Chain A
Amino acid sequence: MSTKTTSRRRFLKTSAALGLTAGLGRPSYGQALHPDVITVNETRARGLLSKYEKSERIRFRQGNNPNATALTPLQDLNGIITPSELHFVVDHENGVLLDINPEEYRLQITGMVDRPLEFTLADLKRMPSVSSINVLTCGSNGSDAFREGAQTVQQTHGRTSTSEWTGVSFKSLLEEAGVHKDAKWVIAMAADPSDHVSSFPMEKAMDGVTMAAYAQNGESIRIDQGYPVRVVAPGYTGRWLVKWLTQLYVTDDTYVTRQDGYNMTDRMPDGRGFLLATDLTRYFRHETTARSVITFPSGGQTLPGPGYYEIRGLAWTGGTVKRVEVSDDDGETWKDAKLQEPVLPYCHTRFRLDWEWDGQERILQSRCTDEKGYVQPTPREVASSWGVDPSPECFSVMGEYCNQVPRDTHNSFIMSWKIAANGDVTNPMRDLYPEGRPEGLSHYYSGGHAFFEEDDH
């Protein structure tokens, strides 16, 4: 599309010469400005973004794969839906993505089924469709709050986004193939360069919403979301939601793959070894736990002076957000924030709180409680609860040894923002918690996805 920018002044002169509209001689925009005018010479195939809008995804972590992460600009967004092109990306590639021809795409259903099947994309789109508005969150989201140089909410919490996803439920696909009665797990395999494979308990696969998704916010999913088909499973962290889905393998046992080994099984409180409930790993961190973060005011912003501000943020969990509280005194006192409708399960929930800033130094925090009664912990609460299960409910997908498994709280701890007397908002986590990230988490986030863990961690 070609566009041409002319100054309004020149436009007005031309218009006047042509005797168009007499009234145009006065500023009609109410701002007494002289905005540029865009002349569009072609059909607007896609909506135009004003040149004044600079919001974009960024990368922050400089690991082995610097191009693998693109963080959602939470500080710039309103409501709960993330525009598809701003949806976060964490892939384990170095910017190497598949661009699959939808004509050539195939999805196979194999393993313990009556009829092993292969579907084309057209087959999938012919089948009954499901839509679900879901948050996707990387399990590591929040971990960078303690990273040196982390200033903005985009840098600390940009690995979470919400979209309306549409596709075919695993249930429809599996029923079409006829699942054997003794099958217990569905292994989703992907064609991505890291060959992600993830294990879904049959109950989850059959929930009617867990889906092979081909659409995001109404349009085909983006390449970096796994075009043409990815997994979406409400409540599960991003790790499980493999992109470029190619096969559902039905089996009677869980699979422990490379990705499960390095970040999806838990460790002993002293950091040694894996937690194995039986002879096989029985516990996966499937579900997101209660999380929230304030997006305004947040790091990198400046409040011009004391007075009224609406504190805004996002809360989400592997269920439904029931309550969000906000503190402006480092957790001494809390006030209930308003939850903005719609409050949907497995979804970002927007919260708001009227706030008068007195011009003093303040520590702002938000705390989410979900429908299971799980309350978002502080980093120190995470550290002290490591090794016990503070939740009232058993989360083990196998229902075994549930109370002996450390409750997964890893990176869901309460985030703080510091308002300085001059209005500058910064990330104070390293100062507030000089002991660092809670014990047990350093293994989860060792700075790289090592096949074998380096001894010095």
Chain B
Amino acid sequence: MNKTIFLLLSVILCLGSFSAYSQTPGQGIGKVLSQEDIGELMYTVGPKGKELPQGQGTAREGEQIYTQSCIFCHGPEGLNGPQNTLKGSPRFPFAISIWDYIHRAMPRSVANVGVQERQLSVDETYSLTAYLLYINGIIDQDTVLDTDLIMNIEMPMEKKPVN
């Protein structure tokens, strides 16, 4: 009887350990990355901002960058450009998603106006995010958008579930 219970417990314990996602040793395929290697990689910033680097900027600063690098595709104040409209009702629940996308993907290179692909610094990304928030009436022109503030921006959209 004791043996049966022991066996049963073993089985349950085994099943339990298999149900967690594995931390088993691998086959040794692939190169192990160092922290330095990882620092070089592209990263994406989630809504809780864990990956967000410290920095700051204002819409006034962002407007200069916008005029140099963005206006060609997105038009004055985010309207009437050949590419996406940037002014209207925000479609993002988190301001940080704007920072994330600008950081990862903007600007695209446009050869004939000399825009360099993805050459924005962290602070420039904060400034451009501030500019987009400014032209959409979410912050003021001289508000300093920094790591704390961007986490606490209330985007003007409903945040409750449908009942």
Contacts and interface: CB of A to CB of B under 8 A. Distances in A.
Residue of B33, B87, B136 contacting most chain A CB atoms (<10 Å): B33
Interface residues of A, number: 68
B38 to A, nearest CB: 6
A4 B139 CA distance: 69
A410 to B, nearest CB: 16
B163 A404 contact: yes
Contacts of B105: 193-195, 258
Contacts of B26: 115, 117, 175-178
Given A178-B22, A202-B21, A272-B158, A452 B29 contact: no
A449 B88 CA distance: 13
Interface stretch (B7-15, B43-51, B60-68, B140-148): B43-51
Given A115-B26, A280-B47, A261 B158 contact: no
B22 A448 contact: no
B159 A273 contact: yes
B3 interface: no
Residue of B44, B82, B97, B132 contacting most chain A CB atoms (<10 Å): B44
A273 B27 contact: no
Nearest to B48: A253
A85 interface: no
B31 A452 contact: no
A127 interface: yes
Contact of B93 (A202, A251, A281, A450): A281
B84 interface: yes
A50 to B, nearest CB: 40
Interface string A119-130: 100010011000
A24 interface: no
A260 B91 CA distance: 9
A199 B75 CA distance: 31
Interface of B: 20-27, 29-33, 37-38, 41-44, 46-48, 50, 78, 82-94, 97-98, 100-101, 104-105, 108, 132, 136, 157-163
26 contacts: A116-B33, A117-B26, A119-B29, A174-B22, A176-B27, A178-B26, A183-B21, A187-B44, A194-B105, A195-B101, A195-B105, A202-B21, A247-B41, A256-B93, A256-B97, A257-B97, A261-B97, A274-B157, A275-B161, A276-B161, A280-B93, A387-B162, A405-B161, A406-B162, A453-B89, A454-B89
